[in-house]
Copies of this chain bind each other. A is one copy, B any other.
Amino acid sequence: MPARAEATRLFPLSRSPPPCGGRENRPRRARSKIRSMRLIATGRLDYAVSGPARFFINLHALGTPSQRVERESLRLHPPDAALLERPAANGAGRLVAITSDVDLRISYEAVVACSPDLRPVAEVAAWPAAPLDHGRAAYLFPSRYCESDQLGRLAWQKFGHLETPYARAGAIRDWIHANIAYVPGGSHSGTSACATLVQRAGVCRDFAHLGVALCRALNLPARYATGYACGLRPPDMHAWFEVAIGAHWVAFDATRLAPLDGLVRVAHGRDAADTAIVTAFGPAVARELVFSCHPADEGRVFVPAPENDRVLIGEA
């Protein structure tokens, strides 16, 4: 639809942080990379707006040592919607504020070179508890969708006998996978970790919230992460949880639906309240949200890394 393309405006957003050029020289990380792949991630939002409304969106791929944003574009229609990019409010993310009082279409596309930091399970399992610094303490306390304050007894009852941080977080991931049914439509935007624990059903967001809440109840700093995901069926934004272990944030996906090495990280924070794809103030109603993620190079087949013996390390 060329007319629409002309009517939209391409925003030259502030570039994401450049990749660390010298990174490959660091022997520890070099050892842990199994491969790199270029992925194309797209997101499209369509909102009916009937008055002055403000949107905060988390759609942009983060630039991190493991993830280099080669190209990206954000198109708005109508093109005169005010726009302001901000660093993340909480956690990491390239929060963008948009103001509109008419129907709004947003589309984002990025080409991202991903070289995920995957480690052998045996290595991660030996890491000690993370030292408690400012950045980690922020992730110890309950948040909107992760009422860890309610879950102390249950968490210690089920997982307190395990000794290491990785054993506890891994057992939480496995328990969620075994006990919570993945049911699209089985939850809603207000569903929290406690509701998921009761109802035993949810989607990736709910699985991640429950993982975060159970870890925090065990005094393990835990955060919620979102991103585009290759190989997810049906295509959608994905969410997982990350736990501070040793000097790292270790990723856990209790849904086991997306290969850990096919993720394009968009944001992380205390929970979905910090990293929502869209937070809208005012009279706006979502009509469509569509996401996709696939390899950028024609003919290249995405071969997920075996998940059983590798662990994904999240951005520091």
Q: State the A residues within 8 Å of B (CB).
A: 54, 56, 84, 86-90, 95, 97, 132-134, 137-144, 147, 149-154, 156-157, 179, 181, 188-190, 194-195, 197-201, 217-219, 270, 273-274, 276, 279, 281-282
Complexed CA–CA distance, A218 and B54 (Å): 10
Q: B219–A54 contact, CB under 8 A?
A: yes
Q: B144–A143 contact, CB under 8 A?
A: yes
Q: Which B residues are CB-close (under 8 A) to A87?
A: 134
Q: A273–B198 contact, CB under 8 A?
A: no
Q: A153–B199 contact, CB under 8 A?
A: yes
Known contacts A190-B149, A219-B281; A97 and B157 CB within 8 A of each other:
no
A-B contact pairs, 9 of them (CB 8 A): A56-B137, A87-B134, A89-B134, A153-B199, A156-B282, A157-B179, A157-B200, A198-B198, A218-B281
Q: Which B residues are CB-close (under 8 A) to A149?
A: 144, 189-190, 273, 279
Q: Which B residues are CB-close (under 8 A) to A218?
A: 281
Q: B190–A86 contact, CB under 8 A?
A: no
A215 CB to nearest chain B CB (Å): 12
Q: A150–B95 contact, CB under 8 A?
A: no
A135 CB to nearest chain B CB (Å): 9
Copies in the assembly, this chain? 4
Q: Which listed residue (B133, B134, B140, B199) contacts A150, Cβ 8 A?
A: B199
A216's nearest neighbour on chain B, judged by CB, is B281
Q: Which B residues are CB-close (under 8 A) to A139?
A: 89
Q: Which B residues are CB-close (under 8 A) to A181?
A: 153
Q: Which B residues are CB-close (under 8 A) to A151?
A: 198-199
A53's nearest neighbour on chain B, judged by CB, is B219
A281 CB to nearest chain B CB (Å): 4
Q: A198–B154 contact, CB under 8 A?
A: yes
Complexed CA–CA distance, A56 and B141 (Å): 10
Q: B153–A89 contact, CB under 8 A?
A: no
Q: B141–A89 contact, CB under 8 A?
A: yes
